[in-house]
Structure 1
């Protein structure tokens, strides 16, 4: 997008609409965010300097600086020393249904993306008391603990920490590929699950793995999946990048009593 088109797009998004609430820098930040989310400003695009944008829009330089600062803090923009301000190379946001149970690999393939997994840790051990309780196991049974970095088209999107009773995995023991495919191959594919979502911030280690800043927002999803006969087959804690996912659910009004 050239400079003239950028200015026109910003102006067209209510920058000077006095009926809109909030200070001018918030409206500027919202306009730039909209252009980025709609794909009109691509990752890696250089933005005008504070001085150039303030002169082109005929607004105060402090207004532009404050809008840029907010977007830098949110990870929407990034500053490159000696080069200027750029649209962050963050991933394209995706909608994920809360009501459909599918593996990460199947979900990415359905979107035309190439899934991959990098194993961070893989151990076979006895369950912790919490894992034994959630999975209905004895403390002397064995589980596979599998921590993986999940990627799509080479971009890291989530860290999954899965615990699965070894008895459900068959000969493969989840050595490679989709964990759900391994469960399905042994006749133990999950058919339903209960999930809990919590907003969290990433610690330094998780943020580094996901290629975001420490303290970046994320969604923690805890899931217990079950077989058709109601036996628990999987307990997973996943951290999803906050800039990558919107989780959605369809709601229906209940019947009147």
Structure 2
């Protein structure tokens, strides 16, 4: 059943069922409970709901405001209304170079991984360029789905030269912990963040609808002597991460 059929008033609206906005509020709540309206998905625009239900936009708005007050939906200025998610909300500083495991531990959250790939491969052109590899060099790759308190949060794909990580099977939890044991923990990094809509594969891994907003982050990390340690390409849930940077007034 699609949302238009579900909201068709002949299915649920009763003349003696109480205030119309309360009946609509209950119908939308039922849609969330039944999984028709999934966590993180957007509600149809008010004008569309009004057209389907044959109600005024004032009535529809009142029902949506009641849902927002109950915490069932979240209203975002300029973006619309979304079904509330129980996914943990992470505020990530852009001025601190830490691993996912360290971030979650610092917040008192339990982190885990589902391995997607781990081994030594021939490098791609992007890896050759980012890691400053010779064309005949090999590259260590680790790719995993990262979770926090059992909620999928990000898909991380890290590439390192075999000089930095000779055996990728040594990485069981934290990559940075393994690098630190060898004195090769990154000292600084450059990051590029871009907004994307999640592909079918990415959405399935992160347990969100296809096309959901996400963040792609490319990070190149360096040792103090300037050597490249890692090249990481990660996909983060857009509803779970807020990236924060502290800015200071530049001196003239």
What's the TM-score, normalizing by structure 1? 0.67
CA contact (8 A) 2:140 2:166 kept: no
Alignment deviations for residues 208-242 of structure 1 (CA, whole Å, 9 cap, x no partner): 11111111111111000011111001000111111
Residues paired across the two proteins, number: 192
Question: In the alignment, is residue 243 of structure 1 matched against residue 249 of structure 2?
Answer: no
Partner of 1:117: 113
* Structure 1 residues 120 and 252: alpha-carbon distance in aligned structure 2, compared to 1, 3 A threshold: same
Q: Return the offset for 1:185.
A: 1.5
Q: Return the offset for 1:164.
A: 1.0
CA distance in 2, matches of 1:75, 1:221: 26
Gaps (5+ residues) in structure 2? 1-38, 40-48, 50-56, 68-72
CA distance in 2, matches of 1:208, 1:169: 30
Aligned runs of 1:181-192 on 2, under 5 Å? 181-192=177-188
- Secondary structure at the aligned position of 1:181 is classed as helix
Q: Kindly report structure 1 stretches of 4+ aligned residues shifted beyond 4 Å.
A: 64-75, 170-173
- Secondary structure at the aligned position of 1:149 is classed as strand
- Secondary structure at the aligned position of 1:168 is classed as coil
Which structure has the higher relative contact order (CA within 8 Å, separation 6+)? 2
* Structure 1 residues 64 and 75: alpha-carbon distance in aligned structure 2, compared to 1, 3 A threshold: closer
Partner of 1:76: 82
Gaps (5+ residues) in structure 1? 1-42, 44-49, 51-58, 78-87
* Structure 1 residues 173 and 185: alpha-carbon distance in aligned structure 2, compared to 1, 3 A threshold: farther
- Secondary structure at the aligned position of 1:167 is classed as coil
What's the TM-score, normalizing by structure 2? 0.69
Question: In the alignment, is residue 144 of structure 1 matched against residue 140 of structure 2?
Answer: yes
Which of 195, 198, 204 aligns to 1:199? It is 195
- More deviation, 168-177/207-216: 168-177
* Structure 1 residues 211 and 71: alpha-carbon distance in aligned structure 2, compared to 1, 3 A threshold: farther
Partner of 2:218: 222
Aligned CA RMSD, in angstroms, stands at 2.8
Partner of 1:60: 58
CA distance in 1, matches of 2:182, 2:220: 19
* Structure 1 residues 221 and 66: alpha-carbon distance in aligned structure 2, compared to 1, 3 A threshold: same
CA distance in 1, matches of 2:226, 2:234: 22
Alignment deviations for residues 146-202 of structure 1 (CA, whole Å, 9 cap, x no partner): 111001111111000111112212556444111111111122111100000001110
